Structure formats: C-alpha cells, structure tokens
Chain A
Amino acid sequence: DGGITQSPKYLFRKEGQNVTLSCEQNLNHDAMYWYRQDPGQGLRLIYYSQIVNDFQKGDIAEGYSVSREKKESFPLTVTSAQKNPTAFYLCASSMGSLSVMVDTEAFFGQGTRLTVV
C-alpha cells in the first residue's frame, strides 16, 4: 500500500544535540513538506520541497535543515540552534503542480513527537 512513513514516533533528545527525523513516501509525489505543531496550535511550515535536490524555507526554518536527495525521502534535522524543539512534527507529500494540471490533497505521516530532556 502506498503511504507516507515517519520515524520514529517518539524521540527524546538531550539539549545541544542534533537529531534527524525520517520521512519516506512511496506515492511518487514530487512535493514534500515538514510542519511543526505545538500543543493546541496550528501547523507551521518549516521547509518544503517541490522536486528532488530543491527545497525552500517555510515560515519557521531557523534551527532546522533538510535534504532532498531522493524523490521518496525528505529528512528533517533539528539542530542545536533550535531553541525550543519540543513539538509534534508532521511530514506530508502531494503531487506537485510541476507534474500534473490538477491539484490534490497532501497526505500526512503519523508524526514524530520530539521531546528535549
């Protein structure tokens, strides 16, 4: 079955450490996204990628980095520069308009809950 997989589901990090969140999709989607969600809050866009080897900053990119070396993978690194990294992180993918002339919804992973200890 096609889908989008995030791992791990729960992640604990010590202060000052970098940590990488995995996001893999087998939907053949061009576009991929990373969002951060704080308790009771909406989704804020961290980074997004329209195509392999290309990505753009979202609204809260500081302290995060990404790569898009393969179409199916879009890992997010939370660096030590991110001052308040404890949050729920959601990855999503969708067919980009670079591929087709219609729009479709974004599919989401189950999320990774990151806690700094």
Chain B
Amino acid sequence: AQKITQTQPGMFVQEKEAVTLDCTYDTSDPSYGLFWYKQPSSGEMIFLIYQGSYDQQNATEGRYSLNFQKARKSANLVISASQLGDSAMYFCAMREGPGNYGGATNKLIFGTGTLLAVQP
C-alpha cells in the first residue's frame, strides 16, 4: 500500500546552517513522483521540489535539494543556509504512476509533516 513516513515531528536549526528533513515512502508501483511542500502558519501550501522515480539525478531548486535514495525508499529534503523565513511545517508527498496513460491512480498522499524552527 502507498505510504509516506516522516519521523521527525519537530526540528531546530541555527540560521545559516543546513538541515535535512527525513522522508521514507512505500509503494509497489515502479513509477511515482515525490514532492515536498512548505506550510507556513498562514496555512497555504507552497510547492518546493519534485523528484520522479526515473530521474537519474537528485532534484535541486535554489536552496532546496532532494536526497533521493531509491533502494532505501527515502527522499530527504535538504535546506541549505537556513533562513528565519524557513520556519514552517514541511510535508513530503507521493503520487503513484505519473506518466502511465490510463494506469495511474493519481492518488496523492502526504506524510504527517515536520515542524522546522530556525533560530537566530
């Protein structure tokens, strides 16, 4: 069954340091997509980064990078040079079967999230 696990309920990081948020997933579908979202206290969901299961390289978007280890089924988010504005809830998500005509469920599920607090 499709499942996303985030084992860190909360984390602290000093401003300007790097931080890694953990995410593991479980799926039997060879084709899937992994996403990270940021949710500030305002409640909006902000897309950060995407990794496809067939992508050979780890995804990067500015200060965000995704450490994709397919054999271990992990998709950790790395935030470099943390800023005070990075303080928020972070969610890992997965959708099975992108790119499969007629065969995908499009079911998009989320982990329980990690609350990141950046300290000055």
A residues with CB within 8 A of B: 30-31, 33, 35, 40-45, 48, 50, 56, 58-59, 88, 90, 92, 94, 96-98, 101-108, 110-111
Q: Mark B92-110, 1 if CB is under 8 A from A, else 0.
A: 0101011111101111111
Closest to B9 in A: A40
Count B interface residues, CB 8 Å: 29
In contact, A45 and B112 (Cβ under 8 angstroms): no
In contact, B106 and A96 (Cβ under 8 angstroms): yes
Does B40 touch A at the CB level, under 8 Å? no
Q: Mark B1-21, 1 if CB is under 8 A from A, else 0.
A: 000001000000000000000
In contact, A111 and B43 (Cβ under 8 angstroms): yes
Q: Given A103-B95, A105-B50, A110-B44, A98–B107 Cβ distance below 8 Å?
A: no
In contact, B101 and A42 (Cβ under 8 angstroms): no
Supplied contacts A50-B104, A88-B43, 8 more A-B pairs, CB within 8 Å: A30-B106, A33-B108, A45-B110, A56-B107, A90-B45, A106-B47, A110-B43, A111-B44
Kindly identify which residue among A30, A90, A92, A103 contacts B98, using a CB–CB cutoff of 8 Å. Answer: A103
In contact, A41 and B112 (Cβ under 8 angstroms): yes
Residues in A neighbouring B47, C-beta threshold 8 A: 105-107
In contact, A42 and B110 (Cβ under 8 angstroms): yes
Kindly identify which residue among A30, A88, A94 contacts B108, using a CB–CB cutoff of 8 Å. Answer: A94
* Cα of A111 to Cα of B95 in the assembled complex, Å: 21
Q: Among the interface residues B43, B50, B91, which one has the most CB atoms of the partner chain A within 10 A? A: B43
CB distance from A37 to the nearest CB of B (A): 8
Q: Please provide the 6 A-B residue pairs with the shortest distance between their CB atoms, ordered closest to farther.
A: A103-B98, A42-B112, A108-B45, A97-B104, A43-B110, A103-B33
In contact, A42 and B50 (Cβ under 8 angstroms): no
* Cα of A11 to Cα of B47 in the assembled complex, Å: 26
Selected A-B contacts with CB under 8 Å, 21 pairs: A31-B108, A42-B91, A42-B113, A43-B91, A43-B110, A44-B110, A45-B107, A45-B108, A45-B110, A48-B108, A94-B95, A94-B108, A96-B106, A97-B104, A98-B102, A102-B99, A104-B50, A106-B47, A108-B45, A110-B43, A111-B43
